[in-house]
Each structure stands twice: as C-alpha cells, then as structure tokens.
C-alpha cells in the first residue's frame, strides 16, 4: 500500500469517538442550520471517510477558483476539482461562526456535519462560468454534471467540518459502503501491498472483468479493488443495489477467493471526464491502492470528451503530485479471431467486424425482453440479475 495524498497518515473527518459524536450532535441541535445540496453532502461523506485527504473541509472561493484553473489550491496542494458547500440562500446562518449541516438525501434531514464558518462568499456568474469551463470543459446545461453544478446556488460557505454520519450509504449499502480507512484495514488484513483499483458506475460485463484481470496480471498485483459509485447518477443509469448484486456475483463466481474486494463509496457522479479521472486517482491513492485503471472515456458522458482525454490529462499532473500509478487501458472486447477478450490496441490486424460489440441501448433492449446478451459479452449470472431488474421496471 502507498501513503495517502498530501500527508503521511490518513486524516478522516468522521468523529469516531461515540461520546464525542453524541456531544456534537447535541451541540448541533442548538446551532443555526442549513439543508445543504446533495453534492455538498457527498463531499462531507468523502471528507468523513478519508477519501478527500488531506482536505479539512469545504474550499473557499479563492481555493476553488485556483483548483479549477491550475489543479492546485492557493497553498499549493495538488487537487483536481473544487470541493465546496454551495447554497442558494445563506440567510438562516448569517453571522454564525459554527453551523449544523443537514442532509438533503435522508428523510427528516438529519445533521450530517458541523461546520466552522470561515467565509460566506457570493460566486459571480463569471466565476461560475470559469469553474464550469475548466472542470467540465463545457458550459452546456444538457451535461448532467454542468447542470448539477450550476443548479445548487451561488453562495459558498467555506471552513473545516466534523462529520457525524455517512448519510444513507452505510445503512442502504451495509457491507459494500466502505471508508478509505476501512479499505486500508481490509487490504492490510489480506496482506495486499500492490493493489489495482477499478472504478465503475455500471454493472461489469465480461470486458470489464477481463480488463481488471489484465491489469492485475500486468502489474503482478496482490489484489483488485472494485470500487463502485453509490451516489446519485443521471436518469436511466442502473441503481446501485442492482449494480452491487451483479458485480458481487461476478466476483464470487469468476475470481479466485481473496483476490477481489467489492466495495463502494458515497459520492454523486460529476461526469467531468478528465478532471474526474484525476479525482478518482486521488481517492484511490487514499485507499492505499498502488495502481488505478483509466480506460476509454473514463467518467465521461455523451460526446463531451475525446475517448482518451481522461488519460492525456495525467500528462498535466506534476511529477510527484500523485504516488498512485495509472494503468492506461484501451477499449476491451471479445475477439472472434482469438476467442478471448482483448484490448483493441493490441490487435492491429482486427477490423470492427472481428469484435463482438453491443451498444448500451442494444443491451438494455435485450435485457428488457428477457434475452441474455451473448456469453462473449456478459456472464450469464450477471445477465440474469440485470434481466430481472429491467423486466421489473417495464
């Protein structure tokens, strides 16, 4: 395992001492409070779990702008995306130095964190536009990440936080949701030193499975961290519980015991392509992974990014800024010529017709009809779980 980003030891912001946490929750009842956005709640969960080490809270406007422009905070810390608490109206906390943050994603809006307020700043339209352009490479409001980023308001509340719970992630996904420090503990117990991380927001088909295996073998790893996003996605994406079941079944049936950890993290997808790929690398380093797979169109959506933009951006990461190594992957698919899954770049003698390629739309149509994709595309056990889901929503 490698050390966390930006510090020698992990600094999760979750208050682990039960008595201290109870005391803070009691204090929070008497504090001015505000319901935060889903994005800010996700940031709190990531800060609480150590994924956003070494950050101590929400960025002020100067840091957020600096990160957007240069991928560094004003103090020089390498960081790829703003981590903010932005609201539409901060009048309820005007003049307060310490506030309670309420969770928008859990019924009753329980307190998710306490924040020490260092600044409350209005973000100008020009600043919002610049941050949007730099982070998402577009200002098109049809882009789901751009839309979410520009819909939460323009008042930034900055300052350190103490996290009091992990929102709905720990309760809705017991055994799957894990903090960065819990993953480190699990890998230490397994004796893993060299670990490949695989990011997913979708179920894993055969090509994804084989990509993990390729990376595992290429770097001579001790294990694979399959790390799925459990937060909010765009409309039409498969719910986290269905993805979780499908991925667990694949790992259980097709990987050797104790070679794969199937886990998840609590964060809303940004769909920020290259910038989000770098963010993914940061928090995989914080889990202790030594290698991170970045594939074709990583963290992208639609046609907003080139197929390998998320790999090219790592050329802009200063030497020494990250310790994790990037495993650059090409599109993987079943070769009819070779009767196995290959990376397309490795078989220059192939044409498109030599591969089994199915669009997402085609696969969804097949599953909705109760028709399993070919075994060269999807494992039958995985297909069965996905068929049951698609047929249940018709």
Which tens digit of pLDDT belongs to each residue from 331-349?
A: 899 999 999 999 999 999 9
Q: Which range is least confidently modeled, 122-126, 191-195, 200-204?
A: 200-204
Task: Give the model's pLDDT for residue 231.
Answer: 82
Catalytic, out of 147, 202, 213, 364: 202
Catalytic, out of 201, 213, 248, 364: 201
- Give the percent of the chain with pLDDT over 90: 84
Neighbours of 354 (CB within 10 A): 17
Q: For residue range 362-376, what is the model confidence (pLDDT) as tens digits? A: 888 888 888 888 999
Q: Between the CA of residue 210 and those of 67, 218, 342, 377, what are the distances in Å?
A: 35, 12, 8, 11
For residue 147, indicate whether it is catalytic: no
Do 335 and 329 touch, CB atoms closer than 8 A?
A: no
Task: Give the model's pLDDT for residue 359.
Answer: 82
Q: How far apart are CA 342 and CA 333, in angstroms?
A: 6
Q: For residue range 267-318, what is the model confidence (pLDDT) as tens digits? A: 998 999 999 999 999 999 999 999 999 998 889 998 999 999 999 999 999 9
Rounded average pLDDT over 178-202: 96
Task: Tell me which fold the domain 171-392 belongs to.
Answer: Rossmann fold (3.40.50)
pLDDT band at 83 (very low <50, low <70, confident <90, very high): very high
- Give the percent of the chain with pLDDT over 70: 100
Task: Give the model's pLDDT for residue 358.
Answer: 86
Task: Give the model's pLDDT for residue 394.
Answer: 74
Do 284 and 324 touch, CB atoms closer than 8 A?
A: yes
Task: Give the model's pLDDT for residue 212.
Answer: 96
Q: How far apart are CA 376 and CA 383, in angstroms?
A: 12
Task: Give the model's pLDDT for residue 364.
Answer: 85
- Asked whether residue 239 carries a pLDDT value surpassing 90, the answer given is no
Q: How far apart are CA 363 and CA 369, in angstroms?
A: 10
pLDDT band at 249 (very low <50, low <70, confident <90, very high): very high
Do 144 and 80 touch, CB atoms closer than 8 A?
A: no
pLDDT band at 64 (very low <50, low <70, confident <90, very high): very high
3-state secondary structure string across the chain = CCCCCCCCCCCCCECCCHHHHHHHHHHHHCCCEEECCHHHHHHHHHHHCCCCCCCCEECCHHHHHHHHHHCECCCCCECCCCCCCEECCCHHHCCCCEEEEECCCCCCCCEEEEEECCEEEECCHHHHHHHHHHHHCCCCCCCHHHHHHCCCCCEEEEEEEEECCCCCHHHHCCCCECCHHHHHHHHHHHCCCCEEEEEECCCCCHHHHHHHHHHHHHCCCCEEEEEEECCCCCCCCCCHHHHHHHHHHHHHHHCCCCCEEEEEECCCCCCCCHHHHHHHHHHHHHCCCCEEEECCCCCCCCCCCCCCHHHHHHHHCCCCCCCCEEEECCCEEEECCCCEEEEHHHCCCCCHHHEECCCHHHHHHHHHCCCCCCCCCCCHHHHHHHHHHHHHCC
- Asked whether residue 10 carries a pLDDT value surpassing 80, the answer given is yes
Among 189, 247, 200, CA closest to 223: 189
Task: Give the model's pLDDT for residue 24.
Answer: 98
Q: For residue range 157-169, what is the model confidence (pLDDT) as tens digits? A: 999 999 999 999 9
For residue 202, indicate whether it is catalytic: yes
Q: Which two tokens stand for residue 44?
A: 């709190």
Q: Omega before 54 cis (within 30°)?
A: yes
Domain boundaries, the chain: 18-168, 171-392
Task: Give the model's pLDDT for residue 366.
Answer: 87
Neighbours of 190 (CB within 10 A): 14
Neighbours of 362 (CB within 10 A): 12
Do 265 and 49 touch, CB atoms closer than 8 A?
A: yes
Task: Give the model's pLDDT for residue 201.
Answer: 86
- Asked whether residue 232 carries a pLDDT value surpassing 80, the answer given is no
Q: How far apart are CA 390 and CA 394, in angstroms?
A: 7
Torsion over CA: 272, 275, 277, 283 (sign): negative
Ramachandran bin of 106, using left for φ above 0, alpha for ψ from -120 to 50, beta for the remaining angles: beta
Task: Give the model's pLDDT for residue 5.
Answer: 98
- Asked whether residue 202 carries a pLDDT value surpassing 90, the answer given is no
Q: How far apart are CA 2 and CA 32, in angstroms?
A: 40
**Domain 18-168 sits in CATH 3.10.400.10:** yes
Q: How far apart are CA 190 and CA 195, in angstroms?
A: 11
- Asked whether residue 235 carries a pLDDT value surpassing 80, the answer given is no
Among 243, 257, 256, CA closest to 205: 243
Task: Give the model's pLDDT for residue 393.
Answer: 83
What does the mean pLDDT of the chain come to?
94
Q: How far apart are CA 265 and CA 45, in angstroms?
A: 9
Rounded average pLDDT over 92-108: 96
């Amino acid at each position: 395992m490698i050390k966390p980003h930006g510090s020698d030891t992990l600094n999760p912001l979750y208050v682990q001492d039960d008595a201290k946490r109870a005391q803070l929750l009691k204090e929070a009842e008497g504090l001015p409070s505000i319901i935060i956005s889903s994005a800010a709640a996700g940031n709190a969960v990531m800060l609480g779990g150590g994924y956003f080490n070494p950050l101590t809270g929400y960025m002020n406007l100067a840091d957020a702008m600096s990160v957007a422009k240069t991928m560094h905070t004003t103090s020089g810390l390498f960081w790829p995306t703003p981590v903010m608490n932005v609201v539409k109206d901060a009048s309820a906390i005007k003049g307060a130095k310490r506030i309670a943050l309420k969770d928008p994603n859990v019924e009753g809006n329980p307190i998710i964190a306490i924040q020490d307020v260092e600044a409350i700043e209005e973000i100008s339209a020009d600043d919002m536009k610049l941050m949007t352009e730099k982070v998402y490479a577009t200002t098109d409001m049809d882009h789901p990440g751009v839309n979410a980023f520009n819909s939460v308001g323009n008042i930034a509340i900055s300052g350190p936080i103490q996290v009091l719970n992990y929102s709905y992630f720990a309760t809705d996904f017991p055994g799957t949701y894990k903090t960065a420090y819990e993953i480190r503990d699990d890998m230490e117990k397994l004796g893993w030193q060299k670990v490949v991380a695989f990011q997913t927001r979708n179920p894993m088909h055969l090509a994804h499975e084989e990509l993990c295996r390729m990376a595992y073998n290429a770097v001579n790893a001790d294990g694979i961290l399959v790390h799925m996003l459990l937060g909010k996605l765009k409309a039409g994406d498969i719910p986290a519980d269905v993805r979780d079941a499908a991925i667990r079944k694949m790992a259980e049936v097709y990987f050797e015991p104790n070679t794969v950890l199937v886990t998840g993290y609590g964060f809303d997808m940004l769909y920020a392509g290259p910038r989000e790929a770098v963010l993914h690398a940061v928090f995989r380093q914080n889990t202790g992974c030594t290698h991170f797979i970045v594939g074709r169109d990583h963290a992208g959506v639609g046609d907003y990014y080139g197929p390998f933009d998320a790999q090219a951006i790592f050329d802009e990461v200063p030497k020494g800024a990250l310790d994790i190594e990037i495993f650059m992957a090409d599109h993987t698919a079943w070769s009819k010529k070779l009767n196995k899954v290959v990376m397309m770049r490795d078989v220059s003698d192939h044409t498109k017709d030599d591969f089994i390629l199915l669009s997402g739309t085609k696969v969804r149509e097949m599953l909705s009809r109760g028709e399993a994709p070919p075994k060269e595309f999807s494992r039958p056990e995985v297909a069965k779980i996905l068929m049951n889901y698609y047929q249940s929503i018709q």
